[in-house]
Amino acid sequence: MPSGFRVEDHGPRQLRVTTLHGLVFGTFSDDTPAIEDFIGPDVLARFDRVLGGRKIEIIGRFVEVLPNNWKMYAENARDSYHASLLHLFFATFKLNRLSQGGGLVVSPNGGCSVSETIAPTEADDMSYSGMRSVDDDYKLEDLRLMDVIDEHPDRVRHQIVTVFPNFVLQKTQNAMALRFFTPKNIDCTNLEWIYFGYADDTPEMRKRRLRHLNLGGPAGFVSMEDGCVGGFVQRGIATAENESAIVEMGGARIASEATRATEASVRGFWSLWRQVTGL
């Protein structure tokens, strides 16, 4: 090399990293604000709910291959109203429907969000009449999948936290997971699942978490449909390249809502995506 060559002038591009409750986040952008400001105080509170003050242990992990572009899954994770429409397990066993309490939290930048579902009470109307055909005689042989311990006073049973562009923190029943999705090519995405529990879990709670993990993943009783629906949508889009879609369920705002019947967080994702990419 010439005499003026300096290794320090030719190193790889530096990645800015920071941690949040032990999770490591990174960006190549010098303009990205601190992680706490990027996700906003309301979304940060949902991180604190699951991870604050608790040491976690990884109890399972695997990679699922999705037959679609990664942005399809970014939408899926932010689609707060599809749970009781797409996931037959939720509908059949009356675990999730739009009339339950909960709502959607959207960060100030639009790219981060939280979808929450509150457990129903005996007084709540959990009838699914008119939504889809459900056989009331269809029963679980092992009811332990429905055996939930409320670990927080808010009775939130289903919580999906997203951070732009490709991170998800999930708690469903007593199962907890991190999800990362990265593109392989324009029609293939790797979805990595990392299941975790708390270091101070009792043996009984650890078994309960492992049982509830059967709801997630590529063959999960709930998540199975998410693994294929993105491919269905992408193939449908390919037949209508000159068409456009309007995402206006719940209006046109990008804001938190006291309902999950809204596309506010999907609008938020695309708004921040256009800002970042300059489109």
First-to-final CA distance of the chain: 41
Residue 99: what pLDDT? Answer: 73
Residue 127 confidence (pLDDT): 54
Closest CA to 189 of 21, 71, 39: 71
Tokens 């596309």 belong to residue: 263
Residue 114 has pLDDT above 60, yes or no: yes
Compute the 3-state secondary structure of the chain and give helix, strand, coil in percent, each to the nearest 5.
30, 25, 45
pLDDT at 129: 46
Over residues 45-63, mean pLDDT: 92
Q: What is the pLDDT of residues 238-248, one digit of tens each?
A: 888 888 888 88
The answer to whether 69 and 189 are in contact (CB under 8 A) is yes
Provide the 8-state DSSP code for 7. Answer: G
Look at residue 135 and tell me whether its pLDDT is greater than 50: yes
Alpha carbon dihedral 108, 85, 231, 259, in 10-degree steps, equals 0
**pLDDT band for position 265 (50/70/90)?**
very high
How crowded is the C-beta side of 84, counted as CA atoms within 13 Å?
Answer: 23
Question: Position 175: which residue type?
Answer: A
CB atoms within 10 A of CB 124: 14
Please say whether the dihedral angle defined by the alpha carbons of residues 133, 104, 234 and 187, taken in this order, is positive or negative.
negative
Q: pLDDT per residue over 74-96, tens digit each?
A: 999 999 888 777 777 777 777 77
CA distance 158 to 170: 8
Phi, psi of 110 (to 5 degrees): 85, -20
* E strand or H helix that includes residue 268: helix 264-277
Architecture of domain 10-240+248-277: Alpha-Beta Complex (3.90)
Residue 130 in this model has a pLDDT that exceeds 50: no
